[in-house]
């Protein structure tokens, strides 16, 4: 085995509602949508209008700043609505799906051997380019950048995270084709982060043309940002690309079969689902379709994405482009009498002040907590120090970094390593924060501020 990178800091949260079991192949959702808001800081320029017919892989809109980057339809059908929000910002481009998806045909495998330009062209034409994101900033990759590496995390350490092994299924050939395509994009390597424990899908273990790195430790060991930090950290001026393993498979299909087939596996996680299963569906499925009678309570909070990083959604909207989790947990807005002193029900905590309520301690507990959305306190000024450091495995000072953002001090943000992190890397800090700071939002504000000022 290659060198193992041991991480000590972090926190594994054991929660009820981990998706398990088989993958259900459901009939197609009636409508699908691509949401430009899923792509950080994107200004979309429409290429279709309501009433147009599209095939899977046809362009829906461009990136206004770089029209090479095309966002394409995940399914074929008729554009039935272009929903706009405040200030007429485009929220959703809704497609009424055909019963049988018609795919636009692209070149097949040969294009990989033709080299980087041909791969890039095919990815950009088909829309598969948008599966690729770049750091810093976690935005759709810049095709003109010279990434020093492409990074893929081969496991998910997030609480209630979708299991990568299930998501990859038996798509070994497509995963490998995806890797081969990514290899052309960089002069460096394609890096694959793998866990030291548990079963690993053969698509990962048998993958060639990649540098494998093994990680041992609690969440966030599975975050690609953490892995990059230990493999080849991002310095000022560097660019790296990242892609989720499931999207590597979608990319592989483009080169193996010549079609942009976004079929992926979505985990239904959280205690509010009657059955925590996996569902196979193209990207952009309607939330309501994914749920279909599987919800225990209509009041549950639905989250597109992970419980620590996702976005609250309603049933009428659509799953986020990069999300492979739909989470449902109880919404809780009830005041708790002396809740800070005598908690009336179980909740996870990393704090040892709950040692008297032994069942409340988050660490070392096998059975899961049934968590809800209660903040368990109010936002306060920073008082406690050192708690973020306990869940931050990177050599980064999270408190000081967040404070530099609050002070709008770009030099300090750069010096303290803001380019190495995105929201999910600081999600645990937000979870454990005594002062209930919106850490992820502050970080995003800082990243946006840098992009605007630079």
Partner 1 sequence: MKGLRSFLDRIKPTFQEGGNLSMLHSTFDAIETLLFVPGHSAPAKGAHIRDGIDLKRTMITVIVAMMPVLIWGLFNVGYQHYLSLGVNEGFATMNNMLFGLSKSLPIIAVSYGAGLGCEFLFAQFRKHPVNEGFLVTGMLIPLCMPPDVPLWMVALATIFAVIIGKEAFGGTGMNPLNPALLARAFIFFAYPGSMTGENVWIADKPDGYSGATSLSNLSAAESVPVDGNWLNVSGWSVGDMFLGFEPGSLGETSVLMCLIGGVILFATGVGNWKIMVATFVGGLGGGLILNGLVAMGIGADNAFMAVPAYYHLLMGGFAFGAIYMATDPVSAAQTERGKWIYGIMIGLVCIVIRVFNGAYPEGMMLAILIMNVSAPLIDYYQVQSNIKRRLARAK
Distance CA 389, CA 398 (A): 7
Give least dist CB 235 to partner 1, A.
4
Site for partner 1 in 142-161 (CB under 8 A): none
Q: How far is the CB of 348 from partner 1 (least distance, A)?
A: 7
How many CB atoms neighbour CB 314 within 10 A?
A: 8
What single-letter DSSP state applies at residue 401?
Answer: H
Instruction: Give the x/- contact pattern for partner 1 in 367-406, rule: CB under 8 A.
Output: ----xxxxxxxx-xxxxxxx--x-----xxx-xx------
CA distances from 309 to 109, 122, 142, 237 (A): 36, 31, 24, 27
- Whole-angstrom Cα distance, residue 48 to residue 51? 9
Q: Please choose, out of 90-98, 134-142, 252-260, 303-311, the segment that lies near partner 1 by the rule CB under 8 A.
A: 303-311
Size of the site for partner 1 (CB under 8 A): 76
Among 51, 333, 367, 454, binds partner 1 (CB under 8 A): 333
How many other β-carbons are positioned within 10 Å of the β-carbon of residue 111?
21
In the complex, the smallest distance separating the C-beta of residue 342 from partner 1, rounded to whole angstroms, is 10
Closest to partner 1 by CB, 22 or 356: 356
Please give the DSSP secondary-structure letter assigned to residue 210.
Answer: S
In the complex with partner 1, the residue whose CB is nearer, 13 or 248, is 13
Minimum distance between the CB of residue 401 and partner 1, rounded to whole angstroms?
A: 10
Query: Does position 353 bind partner 1 by CB under 8 A?
Result: yes
> What span, in angstroms and rounded, lies between the C-alpha atoms of 32 and 80?
10
The position carrying tokens 């930090």 is 229
Residue 18 interacting with partner 1 (CB under 8 A): no
Residue 53 makes contact with partner 1 by CB under 8 A:
no
Give the span between the Cα atoms of 427 and 416, in whole angstroms: 18
Of these, 329, 392, 405, 447, which contacts partner 1 (CB under 8 A)?
Answer: 329
350 near partner 1 (CB under 8 A): yes
> Contacts by 362-366 with C-beta closer than 8 Å and gap 24+?
362/11, 362/13, 362/14, 363/11, 363/12, 365/14, 366/14
Using CB under 8 A, pick the residue from 8, 352, 358, 452 that binds partner 1. 352
Q: Quick check: helix, strand or coil at residue 389?
A: helix
Q: How far is the CB of 132 from partner 1 (least distance, A)?
A: 23
Please report which residue ranges of 127-278 form alpha helices under DSSP H: 164-168, 172-184, 202-205, 224-232, 245-256
The CA-based dihedral angle spanning residues 178, 187, 126, 23, taken in that order and rounded to the nearest 10 degrees = 30
Between 282 and 398, whose beta carbon lies closer to partner 1? 398
Stated as kind and residue range, the H or E segment containing 78 is strand 77-84
Assess 4 for contact with partner 1 (CB under 8 A). Answer: no
For residue 449, what are its two tokens? 């501020």
Q: Is the Cβ of residue 48 or residue 397 nearer to partner 1 in the bound state?
A: 397
Min CB(82)–partner 1 separation in Å: 23
**One residue of 271, 309, 317, 325 binding partner 1 per CB under 8 A:** 309
Give yes or no for residue 191 binding partner 1 (CB under 8 A): no
Phi-psi group of 41: left, alpha or beta (phi > 0 → left; psi -120 to 50 → alpha; rest → beta): left
CA torsion sign for 430, 434, 436, 439 is negative
Binding span for partner 1 by CB under 8 A among 66-74, 109-117, 283-291, 412-420: 412-420
To the nearest 10 degrees (0 to 180), the angle between helices 439-453 and 398-406 is: 60
Is 349 a binding residue for partner 1 by CB under 8 A? The answer is yes
Q: Does 296 bind partner 1 (CB under 8 A)?
A: no
CA 119 to chain centre: 24
Residues 226-255 that bind partner 1 (CB under 8 A): 233, 235-237
CB of 325 to partner 1, least distance (A): 11
Does 198 contact partner 1 by CB under 8 A? Answer: no
Q: Which of residues 427-446 bind partner 1 (CB under 8 A)?
A: 427, 430-436, 438-441
């Amino acid at each position: 085995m290659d060198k193992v990178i041991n991480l000590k800091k972090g926190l594994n949260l054991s929660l009820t509602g981990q998706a398990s079991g088989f993958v259900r192949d459901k009939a197609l959702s009636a409508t699908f949508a691509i949401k430009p808001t899923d792509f950080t800081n994107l200004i979309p320029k429409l290429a279709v209008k309501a009433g147009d017919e599209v095939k899977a892989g046809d362009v829906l809109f461009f990136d206004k700043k770089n029209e090479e980057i095309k966002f394409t339809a995940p399914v074929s059908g008729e554009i039935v609505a272009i929903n706009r929000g405040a200030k007429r910002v485009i929220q959703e481009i809704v497609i009424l799906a055909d019963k049988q998806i018609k795919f636009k045909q692209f070149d097949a495998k040969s294009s990989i051997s033709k080299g980087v330009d041909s791969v890039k062209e095919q990815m950009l034409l088909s829309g598969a380019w948008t599966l690729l994101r770049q750091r810093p900033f976690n935005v759709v990759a810049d095709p003109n950048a010279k990434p020093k590496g492409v990074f893929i995390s081969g496991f998910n350490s997030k609480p209630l995270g979708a299991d990568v092994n299930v998501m990859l299924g038996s798509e070994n050939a497509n995963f490998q084709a995806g890797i081969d395509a990514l290899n052309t994009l960089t002069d460096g390597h394609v890096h694959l982060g793998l866990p030291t424990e548990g079963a690993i899908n053969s698509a990962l273990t048998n993958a060639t043309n990649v540098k494998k790195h093994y990680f041992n430790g609690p969440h966030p060991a599975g975050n690609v940002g953490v892995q990059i930090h230990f493999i080849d950290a991002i310095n000022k001026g560097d660019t790296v690309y990242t892609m989720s393993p499931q999207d590597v498979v979608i990319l592989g299909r483009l080169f193996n079969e010549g079609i942009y087939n976004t079929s992926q596996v979505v985990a239904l996680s959280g205690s509010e689902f009657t059955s925590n299963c996996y569902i196979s569906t193209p990207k952009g499925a309607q939330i309501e379709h994914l749920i279909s009678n599987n919800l225990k309570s209509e009041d549950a909070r639905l989250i597109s994405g992970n419980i620590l990083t996702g976005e609250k959604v309603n049933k009428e909207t659509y799953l986020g482009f990069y999300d492979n989790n739909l989470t449902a947990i109880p919404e809780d807005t009830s005041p708790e009498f002396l809740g800070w002193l005598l908690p009336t029900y179980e909740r996870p905590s990393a704090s040892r002040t709950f040692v008297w309520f032994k069942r409340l301690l988050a660490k070392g507990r096998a059975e899961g907590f049934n968590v809800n959305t209660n903040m368990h306190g109010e936002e306060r000024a920073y008082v406690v120090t050192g708690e973020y450091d306990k869940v931050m495995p990177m050599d980064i000072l999270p408190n000081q970094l967040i404070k530099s953002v609050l002070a709008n001090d770009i030099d300090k943000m750069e010096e303290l390593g803001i380019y190495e992190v995105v929201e999910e890397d600081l999600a645990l800090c937000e979870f454990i924060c005594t002062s209930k700071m919106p850490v992820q939002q502050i970080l995003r504000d800082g990243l946006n501020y840098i992009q605007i000022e630079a």
